[in-house]
Amino acid sequence: MGFASMADRNAIEAEMPWEQRDVPKTMFGVLSRTAGKFPDRPAVSYQIFSGPKDKAETLRWDQLLDRVTRAANLFRSLGVGESDVVAYVLPNCNETTVALLGAMVAGIANPINPLLEPEQIASILRETKAKVVVTLKPFPKTDVAQKVHEACRHAPGVQTVLEVDLNRYLTPPKQWIVPLLRPKLQGAGHVDVKNFNRECAKQPKTLQFEDVQKDRVAAYFHTGGTTGMPKVAQHTYSGMIYNGWLGHRLLFSEQDNIICPLPLFHVFACHVILMASLASGAHVVFPTPQGYRGEGVFDNFWKLIERWKITFVITVPTALSALMQRPVNADVSTVKTAFSGSAPLPLELFRRFEEATGVTIVEGYGLTEATCLVSVNPTEGLKKVGSTGIPLPYTQVRILKTVEGSPVDCGVDEVGEICVSNPGVYAGKTYTEADKNRDLYHHGTFLRTGDLGRLDAEGYLWITGRAKDLIIRGGHNIDPAEIEEALLGHPAVAFAGAIGQPDAHSGELPCAYVELVGGATVSEEELLEYARVHVHERAAQPKHMTILDALPKTAVGKVFKPDLRKLAITRVYNDALEQADCPARVVAVVDDKKRGLVAQLAANGADDAQVSAVLGDFTRPWEWQTD
């Protein structure tokens, strides 16, 4: 297990080609093999509350195989074939794991973020042509069921909704109270609503159809979506099994206990962790429906590690920052490594975590479009903090730039676009929409990630920014990472997000949004002055600073820049309108599939000519808000 250098990584590849490795061809094959090896060992555990002594449910490997088999049989009985889709809109719970795996055995699984709005959920259901949706039964303090039923009203292809009732995870008296508080739902009309667990229990515990031994698309994962509705990426058995094999080969064995407070609609939890668990027999613990966002998870985190004797911590930089604001108040000596992804890790945060816990963080890099994993810092060798490590076995990374219309390899440490080819890249068919795959590859098989980075002399990959996140000031490209890293050096700053705000003269000017460390006080003017000193490129120094109570973040802890752009557009346009004595005001900024972010205005007595005279020089479009 493990590797320490590029030489070790190359040696793993040299053992044999990926296609000749002894790995099962299907997800049911992977699960069956592991359940056969370790039937009595724990597979997945879940607790709805975060306390170290709260009720928890553990499924052994033989029990997980039984549940997944019944779920797959249920989906087939509802008309789901190999090319049909089972969507699920669920927080984390054991049923989420069962639904994911059962859907991939019977057809195509389509995890959907339960934080999305009904129109976005409906759009994904229509795009994937989902037949079955697994979601929550109405439950206090969550509107997931209500949103899904509303979405299904606008997704005529959905035939069946299967409900998961979280009440079974509770204990009296809460278990008695929930039925009294359960919200009432307006039906989705054409949809047949059934109880997921009850229907699964009726099914045989042996697979009632052939598990065809061939590679195929078995999952659809929607991307975060910076503009318009999210795009849908296609994942094959071979890509997911490759990700699982990497986890087993390099990190996990059946003796490991992994804590994963990340959502099971995202590739990090599903492919990097759950698939690796399936391949290795490792035990995964999912605390609370919302993971890191769950009530009390950060406060109880170290005690949960002690409870479950955790050996691997799965995390993201935003969660690490929150954990470092709390004392390590339990025995964490069982932890071998913390694995961090989703965003670059600031050096200072790495040091603070290692000093507080004695645990080393390993950074990695992956993306939905490549099924997930691309590179990781060596588990046993030199870790270059701030880099995302060495490309994983059977993964080729090239840094390419366009010269006279053709892709050309960059030199050592030269920044260009990160392009990836590995068994997780479904070349030519990354997205369900064919139009989205145009110009997405170089040399036929190298996925253009849209990330900017460089490879150093020892083969370590460094991400320097996001191509689409570049701030373009009068034709001058500014990397927002330079601004963010400088601001994160201020002791009062916990998180920073830099974007380009609209400017009538330069197109964009850099601005920044920050979230402060708990209890810290600093003014926006002080932070602007700090940036003027520490952002060395004058053009990159932010022209505006806003302190927010909390930066908007994705479910896996990335700063969600589309929301920051919406705030900036609203502020800049309204300032311009006010200075021009034009009564119109921006009341919303919406995602348009073709135009990107569009400002919607209330007229307040203004007309087209008045607004155009003020906003006509800005690049972002505007329109009147309609009822």
**Whole-number CA gyration radius for the chain:** 25
Q: Is 196 buried (19+), middle (13-18) or exposed (0-12) by CB count in 10 A?
A: buried
Kindly list the distances between the CA atom of residue 157 and the CA atoms of 117, 148, 202, 234, in Å, as whole numbers in the listed order.
19, 14, 25, 19
Structure tokens at 233: 């990426």
Structure tokens at 604: 């307040």
Q: Is the peptide bond before 344 cis (omega within 30 degrees of 0)?
A: no
Q: How far apart are the C-alpha atoms of 470 and 484, rounded to whole Å? A: 13
Residue showing tokens 């996990």 = 252
Low-confidence stretches of the chain (pLDDT beneath 50)? 225-228
Structure tokens at 283: 């035990």
CB 325 within 8 Å of CB 350: no
Helix locations, 233-288, DSSP H: 237-250, 267, 275-280
CB 161 within 8 Å of CB 146: no
Residue showing tokens 């991939």 = 104
Q: How far apart are the C-alpha atoms of 204 and 207, rounded to whole Å? A: 7
Q: How far apart are the C-alpha atoms of 151 and 127, rounded to whole Å? A: 13
Phi, psi of 108, rounded to the nearest 5 degrees? -125, 125
The DSSP code sequence of 418-446 is: EEEESTT--TT-SBSSGGGGTT-EETTTE
Looking at residue 587, its amino acid is V
Q: Is 557 buried (19+), middle (13-18) or exposed (0-12) by CB count in 10 A?
A: buried
Closest CA to 72 of 40, 33, 32, 34: 32
Q: How far apart are the C-alpha atoms of 83 and 212, rounded to whole Å? A: 13
Q: Where are the domains of the chain?
A: 6-455, 470-559, 562-627
Q: Which CATH architecture has domain 6-455?
A: 3-Layer(aba) Sandwich (3.40)
Coil, strand or helix at 42: strand
Q: How far apart are the C-alpha atoms of 288 and 50, rounded to whole Å? A: 6
CATH class of 470-559: alpha beta
Residue 231 carries which DSSP code? P
CB 344 within 8 Å of CB 481: yes
Residue showing tokens 């997921």 = 196
Kindly list the distances between the CA atom of residue 167 and the CA atoms of 57, 92, 608, in Å, as whole numbers in the listed order.
13, 14, 54
CA-based end-to-end distance of the chain: 60
- Residue 1's pLDDT is 59
CB 45 within 8 Å of CB 283: yes
Looking at residue 429, its amino acid is K
Phi, psi of 320, rounded to the nearest 5 degrees? -60, -40
- Residue 58's pLDDT is 98
Structure tokens at 87: 């969507």
Taken as a whole, the chain contains a residue count of: 627
Q: Is 111 buried (19+), middle (13-18) or exposed (0-12) by CB count in 10 A?
A: buried
CB 606 within 8 Å of CB 584: yes
- Residue 225's pLDDT is 40
Q: How far apart are the C-alpha atoms of 454 and 53, rounded to whole Å? A: 46
CB 501 within 8 Å of CB 509: yes
- Torsion on CA atoms 32, 38, 40, 43, rounded to nearest 10: -70
Structure tokens at 147: 């949103």
Q: How far apart are the C-alpha atoms of 603 and 583, rounded to whole Å? A: 7
Share of the chain above pLDDT 90, in %: 76
- Residue 592's pLDDT is 77
Count CB neighbours of 507 within 10 A: 18
Closest CA to 108 of 76, 86, 127, 88: 86
Q: Is 224 buried (19+), middle (13-18) or exposed (0-12) by CB count in 10 A?
A: middle
CB 143 within 8 Å of CB 170: no
Structure tokens at 522: 């600093």
